Amino acid sequence: MIGLGLSLTQVAGRGGWSPARLPGLMHWRGGSDPASGRLYTDSTGATPVATFGETVGLLARAAGTVNAIQTTGANRPVSGRWPRGGRRNLLTHTEALTDAAWGGYWVKPALAAHTPSISARGATHRVAYDPATGGGGSGRQAGLLYNGPAALTAGQYAIRFLMRANSRVPASFGIGHGGSTATMALYVDGVLVSGPTATTTLPMAGFLVVGQVHQVEVRITRSDTSGNNRLFEWRIEDGAGGLGTCTFDIAEVQTEAGATATPSQRVGATANDVTETGRETVWHIAATGAQALPLTLSAGAYTRAWVDSTGAVTVTRDLTETTAANTAPEGRSVDAVVVAGSMTADDEARIRAWWGRYSAG
């Protein structure tokens, strides 16, 4: 099996052409799905890759004459899975809203997985908060969930999640920008209820109904990158406090760059484990730095073509045997071919059409 779960025999029969027919073919990966039985954690083929996050030391070719082998353990790339079209959710641990995964500041609420879920897409987590123990400035506050990307740029971001207040609605939703200047707007069930306004705190009370599941979306325009790069945080605020304990449930946490959030993606403990309900899973090989899956090629000129996890295709001609040899360039490659000589324009068009199945459409 490869890519979206199609066998090589199935896909090769489409239109009578497959990458196996490329002239001068040295290596065709044939996708990156471990279920193909051609990916191994070691360089000798002793241990098959079973799932995401495992290193790849040998990738047996689907067609061609040369296998891709990495004999240096530290330089082996990693198997991963993303939805077709790539990852959009910037946050990890969307299925593990726990103290260990997310951290907090001031007084952290109690966090725990909760059943039954308020979502058909993934797990629900219950937040329990006692404002009597809160702190932070003049109000009663507790913070959670503020792990944004490693480096943020100025621009637009959207945060969407499902939320159910079980006893009362927290007074406000705080956005932790770490000193950044921002404009925020709050949408509840697709309706603008607050903003857009220059602030880091938006009111929630009055917009959510206790006991009902609401889709909440916060849209942020961030104008600088100062501070500690926190993209957002739930900062439960109750002014002077004294309103009593509360619990609320959260699911489908989706944070991404752009003006509005898209359907939720589940991101596991690492970026190598991303899935999305209703969208095919595309397996890929993630490489960074010195990580590579090289071929042993004779001296000469070669063409390398590869497609990444978003469906973007890169074709490079006139490469030396050393440069062309790496079948897992830096990034997240889904499939790759290396041919001797210069790939014709017609064959490039064919390979681009062949890999069109990995695009977001």
> What digits encode the pLDDT tens for the residues 5-28?
334 434 444 458 999 999 999 999
Does 347 share its domain with 332?
A: yes
141 band by pLDDT with thresholds 50, 70 and 90: low
Tell me how far the alpha carbon of residue 305 is from its chain's centroid.
Answer: 24
Q: What is the pLDDT of residues 66-119, one digit of tens each?
A: 999 999 999 999 999 999 999 999 888 887 776 666 655 555 566 778 888 999
pLDDT at residue 195, as a whole number: 86
Question: Would the pLDDT of 258 be above 60?
Answer: yes
What percentage of the chain reaches a pLDDT higher than 90?
Answer: 53
Does 110 share its domain with 174?
A: yes
Residue 3 lies inside a defined structural domain of this protein: no
Residue 241 lies inside a defined structural domain of this protein: yes
State how many domains the chain has.
2
pLDDT at residue 9, as a whole number: 39
Question: Would the pLDDT of 131 be above 90?
Answer: no
Does 239 share its domain with 279?
A: no
CATH of the domain at 116: 2.60.120.260
Does 136 share its domain with 193?
A: yes
358 band by pLDDT with thresholds 50, 70 and 90: very high
Does 105 share its domain with 35?
A: no
Last residue of a domain, one of 216, 242, 267: 267
Does 108 share its domain with 254?
A: yes
Does 75 share its domain with 146?
A: no
126 band by pLDDT with thresholds 50, 70 and 90: confident
Residue 92 lies inside a defined structural domain of this protein: no
Last residue of a domain, one of 267, 295, 321: 267
Does 32 share its domain with 119?
A: no
Does 195 share its domain with 293?
A: no
pLDDT at residue 12, as a whole number: 45
Does 225 share its domain with 313?
A: no
pLDDT at residue 202, as a whole number: 77
Residue 207 lies inside a defined structural domain of this protein: yes
pLDDT at residue 3, as a whole number: 36
175 band by pLDDT with thresholds 50, 70 and 90: low
Does 52 share its domain with 105?
A: no
pLDDT at residue 236, as a whole number: 61
Question: Would the pLDDT of 149 be above 60?
Answer: no
pTM for the full predicted model: 0.83
Does 109 share its domain with 143?
A: yes
Q: Note down the domain range covering 35.
A: 8-87+274-358
Residue 308 lies inside a defined structural domain of this protein: yes
pLDDT at residue 224, as a whole number: 65
Give me the mean pLDDT over the 135-139 stretch: 48
- Mean pLDDT for the chain? 83
Q: What is the pLDDT of residues 296-322, one digit of tens each?
A: 999 999 999 999 999 999 999 999 999
Q: What is the pLDDT of residues 193-248, one digit of tens each?
A: 988 988 777 777 788 899 999 999 989 887 766 555 555 666 666 555 555 677 88
Question: Would the pLDDT of 138 be above 50?
Answer: no
Comparing 145 with 249, the larger pLDDT belongs to 249
Residue 73 lies inside a defined structural domain of this protein: yes
pLDDT at residue 129, as a whole number: 72
Give me the mean pLDDT over the 57-70 stretch: 97
Residue 1 lies inside a defined structural domain of this protein: no
Last residue of a domain, one of 235, 267, 299: 267
pLDDT at residue 152, as a whole number: 64
pLDDT at residue 98, as a whole number: 65
Question: Would the pLDDT of 151 be above 70?
Answer: no
Residue 233 lies inside a defined structural domain of this protein: yes
